[in-house]
Amino acid sequence: MTPGLEARLRAEGLDPVEVERIVRVALAEDGETDVTSEPIFDAAQVSTADFAARADGVVSGLLVAEAVFEILGIDAVLEPRLKDGDRITAGDVLLTVTAPTVGLLRAERIALNFLTHLSGVASRTAAWEAELAGTGARVRDSRKTLPGLRQLQKWAVRCGGGVNHRMSLQDAALIKDNHVAAAGGVTAAYAAVRARYPDLHIQVEVDTLEQLEEALAAGATDVLLDNMAPETMAEAVKLNEGRATLEASGSLALGRARDVAVTGVDYLAVGGLTHSAPALDIGLDFRPAAGT
């Protein structure tokens, strides 16, 4: 990749080496030869095409689409019309590309796969943020990401206005129900992690108000309220008295998001932002050849 694109990726919190790895994996799936395009078009033929939105949403993945062309080694002129994180409406042109026709067709599907998926994640995140507007609560992602795409999916969440949870198991501790059960209680599990990692951020998952009291007594400053009814969450907020950050989790639905948010929790944990976001409809439209 060019130094310019690498710098733009880093500015978005993306590792250019990781982005290149992901793109190369995707390109390898298509093989070395395009048996459809290569017989039809002369290698010297050049075309211009627009990546265009066919639905409203939030765009994410334009930088990755550019990386596809660069990593393929296509002699392309790339003209971004918008930037990642922008709101878009059907008909908006996102990126214009002028390149050898065969190369343009070779890159088309891979670039669109990244664009449609990541824009879908960003758009779903934006919908949650809109639903929570004015409540003080934010939507936060999880580690429920598609294998190999975590960095890109979490970036798409940021493009949509959401908040990232930990990136990996080593970034922060999350003491869940199975840890608690195997350790013999919240206090024992929390104490063990804190003793090993005195400065590490620790979040504790609780299922009941009694467990919340135990977590707070142990020193927890970040608590995940798992599968609690909104009424119980409201009680948890009162019991907490601002001592810890509270995050709601467990089968949350967009249509009921506000009911959860107004209880006073700080975050809503939504794995569906990444593991099941529908693709946003984006297409590549070739412009008519000159003289036709």
- Which one-letter amino acid corresponds to residue 43? A
Cβ-in-10-Å burial (0-12, 13-18, 19+) of 55 comes to: middle
Which residues are annotated as catalytic?
Answer: 109, 144, 176, 205, 226
Token pair belonging to 146? 């598609």
Looking at this protein, which amino acid is placed at residue 115?
A: L
Long-range contacts of 130-133 (CB under 8 A, 24+ apart): 131/254, 131/257, 131/258, 131/261, 132/257, 132/258, 132/261, 132/268
- Tokens found for residue 169: 């198991």
Beta-bridge partners for 88: 57
Half-sphere exposure of 274 (CA within 13 A, CB side): 29
